[in-house]
Structure 1
Amino acid sequence: MLLAGFLVVSAVMEAALIVLSATKWAIDSTVWTRCSLVLGSSIVLLLFAVRAARGSRRSWLRVRILTPIVVTAVVVVVSIPGFLPDWVRLEQGLCGALVLGAAILVNLPRTRAHFPGTE
């Protein structure tokens, strides 16, 4: 559910960028690029999470590896002063919080128990 929320927030941001651009707002290419990358990563993570929920050990490992990477990238990008407008930093922070929650859940012992032989 957390990664589905990540996808929804990312898609809403992309839609907002499209609407703002259509109404003559100047959207920096950095914002477009960053938000598009986040949307892409949300799709990939959700696909892996769905496969993991169906029992795929490889997908579960991919989620375990990718979620901390995404959280780290969000923290770094959001903490660079002046790199993104505040409203984008807020959205990115929300996305990072959702992925952080998923990273924690996917690494719990009770989750690991569903994938024996992985550690």
Structure 2
Amino acid sequence: MEPNDPRADSAFRSVHRLIAGYLAISILTLAAIVLMRNDPAVVTPAVWTRAVIVVITAVLLILFATRAARGSRGAFRRLRIVSVITPVAIVVIIALPGTFPVWMKIEQGVCGLIMTGVAAVANGRYLRSRFAVRQNAAK
């Protein structure tokens, strides 16, 4: 990726903001789980597991986006892949009956919308073109 590309910089700022929102919601959810931990109808082992996975994923996404913005093709590839897989996993979580309480399905729906935005920007034509491997025509 070329340095000082205002359009790419703007796209990565958007990605960072979206992921920061995803991380903030995830941390707040984990804090709520800690506060409600004594209610087994609201906080199940699956809720704990999912919340921790989401926070870890959000932190990794911040790292991927930061490195991608600095030009790392590998980090950009990981950002693109995770940003697509995450909303798909969230759709499955929302669709599975009885696995998670309604409040967490709503929270995951919000996270899914945020990550769909990340996926749209990260997988958009412009950023992909910035990271495309240029083929040497003189081969």
- Normalising to structure 2: TM-score of the pair? 0.78
Map of 1:37 onto structure 2: 53
SS in 2 for 1:103: helix
Distance (whole Å) between structure 2 residues aligned to residue 118 and residue 88 of structure 1: 44
21, 26, 39: which one aligns with 1:25: 39
57, 66, 69: which one aligns with 1:53: 69
Distance (whole Å) between structure 1 residues aligned to residue 50 and residue 100 of structure 2: 9
74, 99, 103: which one aligns with 1:87: 103
CA offset digits 1:55-76 (Å, max 9, x no partner): 1111001111111111111110
Map of 2:79 onto structure 1: 63
Map of 1:12 onto structure 2: 28
Question: Structure 2 matches for 1:73-84, cutoff 5 A?
Answer: 73-84=89-100
- Normalising to structure 1: TM-score of the pair? 0.90
Instruction: Kindly report structure 1 stretches of 4+ aligned residues shifted beyond 4 Å.
Output: none
Shift of 1:114: 2.3
Distance (whole Å) between structure 2 residues aligned to residue 100 and residue 28 of structure 1: 27
* 1:99–1:118 CA distance, 2 compared to 1 (3 A): farther
* 1:117–1:12 CA distance, 2 compared to 1 (3 A): same
Distance (whole Å) between structure 1 residues aligned to residue 98 and residue 36 of structure 2: 20
Computed over aligned residues only, the root mean square deviation of the Cα atoms, in angstroms, reads 1.6
Choose 1 or 2 for highest CA Rg.
2
Map of 1:101 onto structure 2: 117
Give the paired residue count.
Answer: 117
Shift of 1:25: 2.7
Distance (whole Å) between structure 2 residues aligned to residue 73 and residue 84 of structure 1: 13
Letter in 1 for 2:26: S
SS in 1 for 2:132: coil
Gaps of 5+ in 1: none
